[in-house]
Amino acid sequence: MQITTDMIKQLRESTGAGVLDCRKALEQSDGDMEKAMVFLREKGLAMAAKRADRQASEGVVELYSHGNGRVGVMVEVNCETDFVGRAEAFRTFAHEIALQIAASSPLYIREEDIPAEVLEEKGRIAAEQARSEGKPDHIIPRIVEGVLKKFKEETVLLQQPYIRDESITVQQLLNQTIASLGENIVIRRFARFALGESQEQE
């Protein structure tokens, strides 16, 4: 199938990947846009894994204020070089992460940041509730697993659906950005403040 400039442009706009990567993905998938997107996501995942152990100490602290100053976010996003740290695509990614945090109120960046006791408590409450509703014992572990999965999707930044495109997660957006910029990128830490909100996290 003939791969047109418009097809490459459309895929590039959808994924943020480079022109050559988009062309290759379309060629590999015989012009099928969905398959090409899957190809690029998998490539991004492989590239992210390859670059994960590289030092990332440059970058930006992005500040974002929403709703006339009712919500404020500060997030540190790191990359490997000052050159990429100044790049518009990197700055845009950092801004998107700040927007995501403002809109979706995550508590943790990655799953391993959740304290074990928080997961144990959530699991215990879910099991007790299932028992009180008369659920049979043999399905309670599955119910607990479902509750914990939902909790992680809601509270872990990298597992949340990306607010601008819910067909991908923030982790997939990060992988795409790593693939297109060619450097390891790390969301290091964040703080989110909402006017009148208690300091204690739920």
CA separation for the pair 147, 155 (Å, rounded) = 12
Assign residue 142 the CATH number of its domain: 1.10.286
Assign residue 79 the CATH number of its domain: 3.30.479.20
Within a domain: residue 202? no
Looking at the structure, tell me whether residues 62 and 149 fall in a common domain: no
Assign residue 38 the CATH number of its domain: 1.10.8.10
Looking at the structure, tell me whether residues 83 and 63 fall in a common domain: yes
Would you state the pLDDT for residue 17? 67
Name the E strands within 80-176.
161-162, 165-169
Tens of pLDDT, residue by residue over 145-156, are 999 999 999 999
Does the structure show a pLDDT above 90 at 24? no
Tens of pLDDT, residue by residue over 30-67, are 899 888 888 877 766 555 555 556 666 688 999 999 88
Looking at the structure, tell me whether residues 65 and 96 fall in a common domain: yes
Does the structure show a pLDDT above 90 at 169? yes
Would you state the pLDDT for residue 180? 84
DSSP state of 117: H
**Total domains present in the chain:** 3
Would you state the pLDDT for residue 49? 55
Looking at the structure, tell me whether residues 10 and 44 fall in a common domain: yes
Looking at the structure, tell me whether residues 89 and 184 fall in a common domain: yes
Would you state the pLDDT for residue 200? 45
